[in-house]
Amino acid sequence: MPVFDRFKPTRTATFPAAYVIPADLGRAVELLQLHGVEVSRLTADWRGEAQVFVVDKIERANRVYQGHTRLRLAGRFELKKSNVSTGDYLVSTAQPLGILIFHLLEPESEDGLATWNFLDPKIQLHKNYPILKILEPLDCPSEIKESAAADVVLIGPSTSLGMTDYNV
């Protein structure tokens, strides 16, 4: 039987310092927090360079899967001067779940928030993806947003079979 233990990437993306999520996408923020991601809320406006993803193609699955019509996006990133408003959410990738954040918020991810319809109807053809990608650490005042999942408590890491898990 063949063993497949080497993989080559078919697509790559730049790992950012942070993402900015608009204030009206609270459902997406709640999902991130349920995963244990720390999210901050901006307490001042900010203007600076961000990578903006322009949606060139939208493919929807022909059938419903696990209650969702999966979505696949194709497009391109453009570096633009962007305005971010007080109340928008800041998600830094400089935290233990940075790789998970990257997978969930990248527009072309095969298992991200866009794929699972968390950003509908904000996604439109030839328009900007609603989440901005910030390449440098953002110098803007913010405060930690309390998790809506306050009843979920991480007890701490446990080790089994050489892997680190978190018990809930």
Closest by CA position to 124, among listed 149, 100, 107, 99: 107
pLDDT 10s digits, 51-80: 999 999 999 889 888 887 888 999 999 999
Q: What is the C-alpha separation between 112 and 48, in angstroms, rounded?
A: 25
Closest by CA position to 55, among listed 140, 104, 120, 111: 120
DSSP string, 72-136: EEEEEEEEEEEEE-TT-EEEES-STTHHHHHHHH-TT-TTSTTTTTTTTTS--TTSB-SSEEESS
Of 10 and 75, the structure prediction assigns the larger pLDDT to: 75
**What does the pLDDT read at residue 153?**
47
Residue type, 127: K
> What predicted TM-score, i.e. pTM, was given to this entire model?
0.82
Q: Are 50 and 78 in contact (CB under 8 A)?
A: no
Of 40 and 65, the structure prediction assigns the larger pLDDT to: 40
pLDDT 10s digits, 70-126: 889 999 999 999 999 999 999 999 999 999 999 999 999 999 999 999 999 899 999
CA-to-CA dists, residue 1 to 4, 6, angstroms: 10, 15
Q: Are 84 and 42 in contact (CB under 8 A)?
A: yes
Sign of the alpha-carbon torsion through 72, 116, 41, 125: positive
Span 129-155, average pLDDT? 78
| pLDDT > 90 in the chain, percent | 65
Q: What is the C-alpha separation between 16 and 129, in angstroms, rounded?
A: 15
Backbone angles phi, psi at 68, to 5 degrees: -130, 150
**What does the pLDDT read at residue 148?**
61
Q: Are 132 and 47 in contact (CB under 8 A)?
A: no
